[in-house]
Amino acid sequence: MSVSIKEVAKLAGVSVATVSNVLNQTKNVRAETKSKVEIAVSQLKYQINPLARNFRKGESKVIGFVVSDLSNYFFQNVAIGLERSLSNYGYLVALMDSKESKTLEIENVKNLLALSVDGLVIATTGEDCCYLNLILENHDVPVVFVDRKPFGFKSDMVLSTNNEGAYLGIKHLIQKGHEKIGFITSRNDSTMGERIEGYRQAYLEAGLQVNENHILTGDNNVSISQNLLLHGIAYTQAKRLVEAGEVTALFAGNNLSSIGVYNYLREANIKVPEEIAFLTFDDSFWLSMTTPSISAIKQDPDMIGSVAGQLIYERISDKTNEQPDRILRIPTCLVLRSSV
């Protein structure tokens, strides 16, 4: 239906090889020949057939982004950064939502491979990613992990400075006079491990003893953001800690937990920050619209996505690249509002 390179060659009176060479600037072509080709191209309104080229070059120009939970705004912003960065290089990003299900995640990776993506960016649902070794065995497809650190599979990763961020937040709470700070999170993975490490460091530095009962992690049986029970496990944890009079401040380990904690504080009519101070990891616009507005450790998901895009592009462009796997950390910072 559409015009092919052959017809361009015929009209221009040259070979298809020459047409291809001017189109792709793969070889030097005499100016005169070149212009003949260009005229033919524009006369015929020729457009290269990307399907044929992809086939020939063995690439699809699409990168798959497998997201643990697409209804979580954190990952949505990662997607935004990823798309912007990759579109610079002429790549499309195809989204796959795993809805916090490992089974679906594996399914998604398989489907992406079956449609032959050139690379994979994964925010994994669970940390065990052994399955990838088998699935990727016969595929030369680079992988970059974002936000969550996998085990059982080697690849580049882009993560937040979880440790430093939490350290910063806890340190601030301590400076405000808090010595009993509850750390509440709905997950229990290496990311949370890093944040808890930051908590410990701040305590250590201040010469305070960590009370292990103040660190409450979830069971990893997480529901997706969209279906979030507004109370959930973080709600219960906050309630327990506060009612027992155990703490003077609450630190939510991630954005989902912050919702549960906030809802408890609000429903229990607790004065924030007077009675209980509140700080959360992961910023969002709604934190400035609550009463009181909520202070947060701000991550940069957009940057995480765009850096992941660069990494995957590097790996694709330079397949011989034998450089070891990298872990890149994207800075976090403290955004102060009224809850601390």
Q: By CB under 8 A, name the binding residues for its own copies.
A: 1-2, 45, 47, 49-52, 54-55, 58-62, 64, 70-71, 73, 76-77, 79-80, 83-84, 87, 90, 92-97, 111-112, 114-116, 138, 140, 226, 228, 230, 259, 262-263, 266, 285-286, 288-291
CB of 131 to its own copies, least distance (A): 17
Which residues, in sequence order, are CB contacts of 165 under 8 Å at separation 6+?
195, 198, 281, 297, 299, 332, 333, 334
The DSSP secondary structure of 248-262, one letter per residue, reads: SEEEESSHHHHHHHH
Residue 6 interacts with DNA (CB under 7 A): yes or no? yes
Q: How many residues bind DNA (CB under 7 A)?
A: 30
Residue 5 interacts with DNA (CB under 7 A): yes or no? yes
Residue 114 interacts with DNA (CB under 7 A): yes or no? no
> Is residue 237 a contact partner of residue 183, using CB atoms and an 8 Å limit?
no
Residue 19, burial from CB neighbour count under 10 angstroms (0-12, 13-18, 19+) = buried
CB of 67 to its own copies, least distance (A): 9
The number of CA neighbours under 13 Å toward the Cβ of 91 is: 29
The number of CA neighbours under 13 Å toward the Cβ of 184 is: 31
Residue 15 interacts with DNA (CB under 7 A): yes or no? yes
CB of 301 to its own copies, least distance (A): 11
The number of CA neighbours under 13 Å toward the Cβ of 323 is: 9
> Binding string to DNA for residues 19 to 58, with x set by CB under 7 A, is what?
-xx-xx-xxxxx-xxx-----------x-xx--xx-xxx-
Residue 336 interacts with DNA (CB under 7 A): yes or no? no
20 vs 85, beta carbon nearer DNA: 20
> Which partner, DNA, its own copies, none, binds residue 5 by CB below 5 to 8 Å per kind?
DNA
User: Nearest Cα to 312, choosing from 171, 88, 153, 141?
Assistant: 141
CB of 189 to its own copies, least distance (A): 23
Q: 3-state SS string over 54-99?
A: HHHHCCCCEEEEEECCCCCHHHHHHHHHHHHHHHHCCCEEEEEECC
CB of 229 to its own copies, least distance (A): 11
> Which partner, its own copies, DNA, none, binds residue 6 by CB below 5 to 8 Å per kind?
DNA
> Is residue 91 a contact partner of residue 63, using CB atoms and an 8 Å limit?
yes
Residue 2 interacts with DNA (CB under 7 A): yes or no? yes
CB of 30 to DNA, least distance (A): 3
CB of 37 to DNA, least distance (A): 9
The number of CA neighbours under 13 Å toward the Cβ of 152 is: 10
Q: Which residue has the tokens 């790996």?
A: 315
Residue 317 interacts with DNA (CB under 7 A): yes or no? no
Q: What does the binding site for DNA look like in residue numbers (CB under 7 A)?
A: 2, 4-6, 13-18, 20-21, 23-24, 26-30, 32-34, 46, 48-49, 52-53, 55-57
